[in-house]
Chains A and B, each alone.
Chain A
Amino acid sequence: GQSLEQPSEVTAVEGAIVQMNCTYQTSGFYGLSWYQQHDGGAPTFLSYNALDGLEETGRFSSFLSRSDSYGYLLLQELQMKDSASYFCAVRYVNTGFQKLVFGTGTRLLVSP
């Protein structure tokens, strides 16, 4: 089976940097994705790591260590609009098809 663990909640202030961790156990691992979801909204794709290392997209960076089954999402220069839930999702291959399973999510609260 597949399992992912994320801290349930993280708080930070505007302008700060926050790191949200994700550990996983999976077979047929292909890559790790991150999605953002505002309350009442749909999840939206942020990033994807298939190889070890850091991927940067503007204020967002995502890191993957395949040997440690670990990844994190880093948000810099936090803004109020970053308050949302952040889900890591493992992409794996089973029966010849790519599949995606989501973690329980980390709720980020950004205060002034």
Chain B
Amino acid sequence: EAGVAQSPRYKIIEKRQSVAFWCNPISGHATLYWYQQILGQGPKLLIQFQNNGVVDDSQLPKDRFSAERLKGVDSTLKIQPAKLEDSAVYLCASSSTYSGGLLPLGSPLHFGNGTRLTVT
């Protein structure tokens, strides 16, 4: 199966500019996640979608970040205006709801290669 696709791979912008990232999840995966990973840290969840509805956006800085998942497939994450502390790798991931079996197996997340954002 094709993996999670993300673009662009790298982006350099100046502070106060805007930027957008795109993600295409694995076909049929209902759940889509955007994570922010600062160098040397673990991925931090920004927003989680179930189909085209938001499940969790509690850690999304809503004054500058926005995300949408139209038609429950592709998703875009936007930052406007960017700050220096937004420099990070933005990872998109997707998962199916259940992996099957008698117990839900916790559906592994499949990550894209990420977008490395540098804000100068």
A residues with CB within 8 A of B: 30-31, 33, 35, 41-45, 48, 50, 87, 89, 91, 94-95, 97-105
When the two chains form the complex, which single residue of B55, B56, B91, B108 contacts A45, counting CB atoms closer than 8 Å? B108
Report Cα–Cα, A41/B112, bound state, in Å.
9
When the two chains form the complex, which single residue of B33, B103, B106, B111 contacts A33, counting CB atoms closer than 8 Å? B106
CB A2 to nearest CB in B, in angstroms, measures: 10
Report Cα–Cα, A87/B43, bound state, in Å.
9
Closest 3 A/B residue pairs (Cβ): A45-B108, A102-B42, A42-B111
Does B70 lie at the interface of the complex (its beta carbon under 8 Å from any beta carbon of A)?
A: no
Task: Return chain A residues, CB-CB under 8 Å to B33.
Answer: 100
List 15 A-B pairs, Cβ < 8 Å: A35-B109, A43-B43, A43-B109, A44-B111, A48-B106, A48-B108, A50-B105, A89-B42, A95-B56, A97-B50, A99-B45, A101-B45, A103-B42, A104-B41, A105-B42
Between A and B, how many residue pairs show CB distances below 8 Å?
A: 56
Task: Return chain B residues, CB-CB under 8 Å to A30.
Answer: 106
For chain B, the bracket of interface size reads: 20 to 34
Indicate whether A95 sits within 8 Å of B43 (C-beta atoms), given known contacts A31-B106, A42-B113, A45-B110. no
In terms of DSSP, what is the predominant structure of the interface of chain A? strand
Task: Return chain B residues, CB-CB under 8 Å to A41.
Answer: 113
